[in-house]
A and B are shown apart, each in its own frame.
Chain A
Amino acid sequence: MAAESRYILVTKRDCPTCQLIEPALEELALSAPVRVFNQDGAGFPATAAADVIDDSELAGSWALDVEIVPTLIRYEGETEAGRTEGWDRSAWRALTHLNDLGASLPEFRPGCGSLTRDPGIAPRLAARYGGGGLTARRIDLAPLEDAIETCYERGWSDGLPVVPPTPERVLAMLAGTNRDPGETLGEVPPDLVPVSIEKIAINAVMAGCRPEYLPVVISAVEAALEEPFCMHGLLATTYFSGPMVVVSGPLARRIGMNAGGNALGQGNRANATIGRALQLVIRNVGGGRPGGVDRAALGNPGKYTFCFAEDDDPAWTSLSEDRGFARDETTVTLFAADGVQGIVDQKAREPEPLCRSFAAGLRVVSHPKMVQAADAFLVVSPEHARVFHDAGWSKQRVTERLHELLTIDGSELVQGAGGMAEGLPVKLKGRSLRKFREGGLTLVRAGGSAGMFSAIIAGWGASGEIGSSPVTREVKS
């Protein structure tokens, strides 16, 4: 039976067990054809009995999907009939049916890791030898072409350098999700181009993401494509807004997002690159570019990237919970956001005066006389949140009080009031109107431990059914 078999042995010289088993290889090669793939150069194993192949390029090892060296594989014809890893005398004997094999060797020695499993190698091998399932068009660069400059010239950049999306990097990125690279999520405006997981991974590479951020990026894209978010209009508007991403839940901490000091600022890779990846998908896949369909009069710096994590505050419900998910679920919430307006109150020690400060700041969103137009997020810092916690005020109670304080007499809002032409139709003079529509004011917790400052993030003037509503999606691996 053994005579009908043939064997492949995968080794590396740098592995003591591979060196140890050389006598067993000699014995085996006397009974059946043996081909050896050696991973670290020619000249090992030094045997004339077997057909030794230099597999430094790892093509053979990759095709055989080897994890450990030595690995001995038995074939019957073209079919693999079994394999064993490391040196386990009884396992080698069982596989080869040679009952005296390796009599001079110890009973057992573990093997070493295959070079195909070294960190960072697998994506390179997948790119080189196939198996990655990539279907995006490949762009060949000329020998002297600089990849980063090429990305600029082809219009793939938001203005900052991007990481060149090589097949190796994209395959490494795709390791961050279990989803099929070919799965299509929907059509990205404005050109309504179908977007696949692979295209998202390419843009995530360019944005600078790590693979573990990819599930968050995918969920952010899914949220952007939901009809209530109105991504087309948000892109096309002359208004300031762009998509802001808030990540709530345990994964935000696991991937190292910043919900603390400078959460809305620079310096954290996950915050910076997740928001940027979403913008690059819209730019590159959807074709949404400034001066093209993006008609913003001024825009805002958040259109490079605007993404942060919500702080885990046990005293308040989380954004995930507020949006109908469980606290231990990780969600992304997208909001059509302008920039950040700070609100200072260093004197309030009770909820009511602090709510009044917040309300006064929120009153000016879009324009002090505009109501039921833009939504807003209020990012409450730890020192401000403490005032509410000490008094036992829930987030919902604060929100409701803000709505009450932002119920405004129509006479203050109509055209001409305060000497400003802007305003509501004069016929609304006798009415009393809420600044924000139902669900239009969202509170989240973030920020560093020092500073009695919170942040108002105003939204697009077109909210709700006529424009954009915040959209939340669960993050799945």
Chain B
Amino acid sequence: MSETVLLDPGSERDPSQREPRALPLDLSGRTVGLLDISKPRGDVFLDEIASLLEAEGATVTRFRKPTFTRPAPTELRQDIAEQCDLVLEGLAD
């Protein structure tokens, strides 16, 4: 059976499309994760981003995927979720 349409079981008081979470206006005091996907020279780019974020008052925590060819391991995603308020991930070079 095709499962492309579902009927809402609830009160329908929420929007049917889920909205992305609002971005914070102020970074001071927040922990921002920078995820290096292991592309060459990604670290150089992210070093620059880190210093800009730190100038905004953010604490920067760095993470690195073992390889850009595969999705981030579950443990890495859990580390980021546990430690960070926000995450920036470079998707390509």
Q: Do A and B come from one complex?
A: yes
Could you list which residues of chain A lie within 8 angstroms of chain B, going by C-beta atoms?
124, 134, 136-141, 143, 147, 150-151, 153-154, 156, 164-170, 191, 193, 198-199, 202-203, 206, 280, 284-287
Give the interface SS of chain B, mostly helix, strand, loop or mixed: loop
A473–B58 alpha-carbon span in the complex (Å): 60
B11 touches A168 (CB 8 A): no
* Residues on the A chain within 8 Å of B3, using CB: 141, 147, 164, 166
A134–B9 alpha-carbon span in the complex (Å): 12
* Residues on the A chain within 8 Å of B12, using CB: 136-137
B6 touches A287 (CB 8 A): no
- Contact pick for A284, options B6, B10, B18, CB 8 Å: B10
Interface-centre pick from B3, B13, B16 (highest chain A CB count, 10 A): B3
* Residues on the B chain within 8 Å of A124, using CB: 1
- Contact pick for B7, options A165, A191, A285, A286, CB 8 Å: A165
Q: Is B69 an interface residue (CB 8 A)?
A: no
A280 touches B9 (CB 8 A): yes
CB-CB contacts below 8 Å: B1-51 with A: 1-13, 16, 18
- Contact pick for B1, options A169, A191, A202, A203, CB 8 Å: A169
How many residue pairs at the A-B interface have CB separations less than 8 Å?
71
Known: A154-B18, A166-B3. A139 touches B8 (CB 8 A): yes
Can you list 7 residue pairs at the A/B interface with Cβ under 8 Å?
Answer: A137-B7, A140-B4, A153-B18, A156-B10, A193-B13, A199-B9, A287-B11
B7 touches A167 (CB 8 A): yes
A320–B20 alpha-carbon span in the complex (Å): 51
A138 touches B6 (CB 8 A): yes
- Contact pick for A141, options B5, B10, B11, CB 8 Å: B5
Interface residue tally on B, bucketed by range: 10 to 19
Chain B nearest CB: distance from A189 CB in Å? 12
* Residues on the B chain within 8 Å of A193, using CB: 11, 13
A167–B10 alpha-carbon span in the complex (Å): 15
A134 touches B7 (CB 8 A): yes
B4 touches A202 (CB 8 A): no
Known: A137-B16, A166-B1, A169-B1. A147 touches B6 (CB 8 A): yes
Known: A166-B1, A169-B1. A151 touches B10 (CB 8 A): no
B1 touches A151 (CB 8 A): no
* Residues on the B chain within 8 Å of A141, using CB: 3-6
* Residues on the B chain within 8 Å of A167, using CB: 5, 7
Residue of B nearest to A171 (CB): B7
A151–B6 alpha-carbon span in the complex (Å): 9
* Residues on the B chain within 8 Å of A143, using CB: 4
Chain B nearest CB: distance from A211 CB in Å? 15
* Residues on the A chain within 8 Å of B18, using CB: 153-154
B11 touches A136 (CB 8 A): no
* Residues on the B chain within 8 Å of A168, using CB: 1
* Residues on the A chain within 8 Å of B4, using CB: 140-141, 143
Interface-centre pick from B1, B9, B10, B18 (highest chain A CB count, 10 A): B9
A138 touches B1 (CB 8 A): no
A138 touches B11 (CB 8 A): no
Chain B nearest CB: distance from A193 CB in Å? 4
A-B contacts besides A138-B5, A156-B9, A156-B10, 6 pairs, CB < 8 Å:
A138-B7, A139-B5, A143-B4, A166-B1, A191-B13, A198-B7
A166–B9 alpha-carbon span in the complex (Å): 11
